[in-house]
Amino acid sequence: MKQLFFILFILPTCLFAQTNKPNSKTAPANLGHQIQITLKPYQDTKIYLGTNYGNARAFADSCVLNNKSEGVFESKQKLTPGIYFVVSPKMSILFDFIVDDNQHFKIVADTLDLKNITITGSNENILFQNYSKSINDLFVQLGEIEKNFKGATTAKDSASLKEAYINKDKEIKQKRKSFIQANPNSMMSFLLNTMELPEAPSIPIVNGKADSLYPFRYVKNHYWDNVVFNDNRLLRTPFFEKKLDDYFKNYVSREPDSVIEEIQYMLTVAKTGKEIYPFLLFKFTNKYISPEFMGQDKVFLHIYQNFFAKGDTVLLTEASKKSLRDRAYSLMANQLGLPAPILVLNDVNDKRFALHNIKAPFTFVAFWDPTCSHCKVEIPKLDSIYKASWKALDVKVVSVNINFKEITAWKNFIKEHHLEEWINGYQTEEDLNLEIKEGKPTTIRQLYDVYKTPTFYLLDKNKKIIAKNLSIEQFNDFLQSTSKK
């Protein structure tokens, strides 16, 4: 029995009206789904119908069992086909079953004997039960071989068990293949096709040389065979999102343009899927709005400009729309490879200087606040690395105080920590107010995405952004490697 640790209480695009009638025996002609259930020994208690929403689990319906352990999951709306499960009053998953287009059937089960569940009126569930039983038996046999293999004491025994394991694995794969061939249009075949991962072929020899990348290319090119991204049923499986995550982790380059190519294809195909499209759109948005790897915020910008900015905001509140818009505008001017935005500041003596007039093979720009506790740790650490190695590489550090109200504290910090070798500057209150008065849509904070401190950028000799959103140690590694090139 599986414990249901997390349940979504609101399932987007799939929130069903509760019209459950425990003693209902017949269904009105227009009823979307009616699943009668007898679940012993539960009486006079509520049970739940659950399903998957990607990697999460969600309620799809509920019903109250009467004193004969009978109840009905029913609504005028149809369920999205896929894998569903019955959840006990104590929130434990009891058993799985399939929902396809035929959503009027009956389940009889006893929690003391969940291996023998009877489902009538659903051919799909008969296929599901028969296939599950036979394949589970094969997996038990495979497990026994594996167990014996670990305990083998001779090379002969190991070789024999290895051969047995390979043959049993082939038998499992052949059974799956035979089932799909015999039942190509069944829900079970759809599920098996979604689960399927291509086998990597052996390395071929081309013009006398081994093509070691061919197996990788083959698996990548066939990874999504028989899967169409506008199929809402994908969400009602426990394996689709994991397969998707593994694909991006193992088969897609971390380069933003490679990620963008994959996402653009998936979202374009998924657009006609009422549930799968918003799921993928928000999944990719959440992943790349604050990406794991440097430069992948370009992926979020692409999603915003090509989907949200073109009207795909039907599920968003006004606050969410503004949040996404503001985030996109904060990233547009500081993408890797772009020239750093114009930056004109006052130094400690209130003399004007411009970032783009500084001559250096590399320029490191640090935005910080003298009242920020994290900055008080990171800025001296930066100076230590600068003096230890960056100075010898002729790196110029431009230190930008973003808090014009703390000029005295800023100057004292510079003096106390001996940061006079840096180019220290700040934007005056007058300059900021002038920008606002002139109606300029951007400020330093937005141009450089300075919404946390400290924020760092590394620029090349042409003042193009070559690194950002790294730790000081990572910047040092990047700079050392780049300077050698």
Q: Does the pLDDT of residue 234 top 70, yes or no?
A: yes
Spell out the CATH class of 344-484: alpha beta
Average pLDDT, the chain: 90
> Which whole number is the average pLDDT over 35-42?
97
449, 334 Cβ separation under 8 angstroms: yes
Q: What 8-state DSSP symbol labels residue 387?
A: I
- Can you state the angle between helices 318-331 and 276-289, rounded to 10 degrees? 40
List the one residue out of 456, 369, 455 whose CA is nearest residue 406.
Answer: 369
Query: What type of residue sits at position 289?
Result: I
Q: Does the pLDDT of residue 10 top 60, yes or no?
A: no
Tokens representing 69 are 């352990």
List the one residue out of 376, 365, 371 whose CA is nearest residue 408.
Answer: 371
Rounded distance, CA 109 to CA 314, Å? Answer: 42
Q: Which residue has the tokens 């510079």?
A: 414
Q: Does the pLDDT of residue 27 top 50, yes or no?
A: no
* Confidence bin at 314 (pLDDT 50/70/90): confident
Write out the H or E segment, with its range, that includes residue 159: helix 155-182
Report how far Cα 377 is from the mean position of its chain's Cα atoms. 33
Q: Which residue has the tokens 């569940």?
A: 117
Q: How does DSSP assign 210-242, residue by residue?
A: E-TTHHHHHHHHHTTTT--TT-GGGGGSSSHHH
Q: What 8-state DSSP symbol labels residue 204?
A: P
pTM here? 0.86
Q: Does the pLDDT of residue 22 top 60, yes or no?
A: no
> Which whole number is the average pLDDT over 294-323?
91
Q: Where are the alpha helices (DSSP H) in 201-341?
A: 214-222, 240-250, 256-270, 276-289, 297-306, 318-331
Report pLDDT for 214.
95
Long-range contacts of 354-359 (CB under 8 A, 24+ apart): 355/398, 355/463, 356/463, 358/396, 358/398, 358/423
Tokens representing 451 are 């919404």
Query: What type of residue sits at position 468?
Result: K
pLDDT tens digits for range 167-221:
998 999 999 999 999 999 999 999 999 999 999 999 999 888 999 999 999 999 9
Q: What 8-state DSSP symbol labels residue 86?
A: E
| CATH fit for domain 2-121, picks 3.90.320.10, 2.60.40.1120, 1.10.30.50, 3.10.580.10 | 2.60.40.1120
* Confidence bin at 448 (pLDDT 50/70/90): very high
Instruction: Count Cβ atoms below 10 Å from residue 474 Cβ, excluding itself.
Output: 13
* Confidence bin at 25 (pLDDT 50/70/90): very low
Report pLDDT for 461.
96
Rounded distance, CA 311 to CA 299, Å? Answer: 18
Report pLDDT for 30.
55
Report pLDDT for 152.
80
Q: Which residue has the tokens 């920020």?
A: 372
Report pLDDT for 15.
32
Of 1-10, 256-265, 392-401, the range with the lowest mean pLDDT is: 1-10
131, 179 Cβ separation under 8 angstroms: yes
* Confidence bin at 97 (pLDDT 50/70/90): very high
345, 356 Cβ separation under 8 angstroms: no
Q: Which whole-number Å values give the CA distances from 413 to 9, 377, 401, 404, 454, in the listed order?
A: 51, 12, 11, 14, 15
pLDDT tens digits for range 100-154:
999 999 999 999 999 899 999 999 999 999 999 889 889 999 988 988 888 888 8
Of 23-32, 46-55, 451-460, the range with the lowest mean pLDDT is: 23-32
> Which whole number is the average pLDDT over 86-98?
96
Q: Half-sphere exposure of residue 346, counting CA atoms within 13 Å on the CB side?
A: 17
173, 167 Cβ separation under 8 angstroms: no
Tokens representing 217 are 């290319």
